[in-house]
Amino acid sequence: MPEAFSDRRVLVVGMGGLGCPVALALAAAGVGTLGIVDDDCVELTNLHRQVLFDESMLGVPKVDAAAPSLEKFGVRVERHRTRFVPERAVAIAMSYDLLVDAADNFPTKFLVADVARKLGVPVVHGSAERWSGFAFAVGKGGGPCYRCVFEDVPIGPGAGPARNCNDTGVVGAALGVIGAVQADLALRMLAGDALADGTLFQFDGLRGRGRTSRRAAQKACPLCSDDQVAIERARYLVTN
Ligand SMILES: [Zn+2]
């Protein structure tokens, strides 16, 4: 097993279409400990995009189905068979060096962003829908962060429920691309590559295009400003 990352601890939130390829790549790269968080069980409709699972695992909790495949690489797997919710998110995340947001819904993605900022650890977000997706790396100090780009959970008239993969559909290959880039960004940040911070990779699978840019922090961002009231307000919105 490679030694460079053998003492590093990474938490992957969500073991679905993104969590599977991210965790696989991090395990193969020699990350010492992977925490994996999910409260779902494997379903037949998952199999085309969640590459760690097969038909023999239907009905099995995803963290239990995924762990043996990851452990083959020598990684220590810590299973968190639960939802990543405000009441326990900090307790779950506090022992990890880096968080990976592989969640499929907005409230969880903002919560991962807030928890990373609170704990002062880097986070790599990822999202995919239909043929497209993005990966976004945020350093331990934020600035720019997920809230600089997306501000807050969609709420109010017309916003409707937050969409996820089951609602909109997603191509497994697009998830594989985004998951691989998330793992790449995570490893770069673990290795101390400051250029990874703020990197946004956008992928258009229908046109075979990828684009990398760097985002700037927004002064009004509740997480990157020094305004403690604004930070608390952001957490209030996530919690409620
Ligand atoms: Zn921000």
Closest C-alpha among 151, 146, 128 to residue 202: 128
Residue 47 lies in a domain: yes
User: Which is it for strands 199-204 and 209-214: parallel, antiparallel or unpaired?
Assistant: antiparallel
Mean pLDDT, all residues of the chain: 88
State the Cα–Cα distance between residues 207 and 77, nearest whole angstrom.
37
Please tell me the predicted confidence (pLDDT) of residue 219.
82
Residue 124 lies in a domain: yes
Total structural domains within the chain: 1
Flag whether pLDDT at 148 surpasses 60.
Answer: yes
pLDDT band at residue 166 using 50, 70 and 90 as cut-offs = low
The rounded Å distance from CA 220 to ligand 1 centre is 8
Amino acid identity at 216:
A
Residue 132 lies in a domain: yes
Residue 2 lies in a domain: no
What percentage of the chain has pLDDT greater than the value 90? 72
The rounded Å distance from CA 200 to ligand 1 centre is 14
The rounded Å distance from CA 194 to ligand 1 centre is 17
Residue 3 lies in a domain: no
The rounded Å distance from CA 141 to ligand 1 centre is 9
The rounded Å distance from CA 136 to ligand 1 centre is 12
Question: According to DSSP H, which parts of 58-164 are helical?
Answer: 62-71, 89-93, 106-119, 146-150
Residue 1 lies in a domain: no
Residue 136 lies in a domain: yes
Secondary structure element (H or E) that encloses residue 184, with its range: helix 172-190
Flag whether pLDDT at 1 surpasses 50.
Answer: no
Flag whether pLDDT at 196 surpasses 70.
Answer: yes
Question: What number is the average pLDDT over the span 34-38?
Answer: 98
Q: Which CATH number characterizes residue 39's domain?
A: 3.40.50.720
Task: Spell out which residues have Cβ within 5 A of ligand 1, the ion.
Answer: 145, 147-148, 221, 223-224
State the Cα–Cα distance between residues 112 and 107, nearest whole angstrom.
9
Flag whether pLDDT at 2 surpasses 80.
Answer: no
How far CA 48 is from CA of 19, 25, 35, 104, 127, in Å, comes to 14, 18, 24, 16, 17
Residue 4 lies in a domain: no
Flag whether pLDDT at 158 surpasses 60.
Answer: no
The rounded Å distance from CA 45 to ligand 1 centre is 35
Residue 30 structure tokens = 């020699």
Least confident of 37-41, 112-116, 152-156: 152-156
Residue-range definition of the domain harbouring residue 69 = 9-239
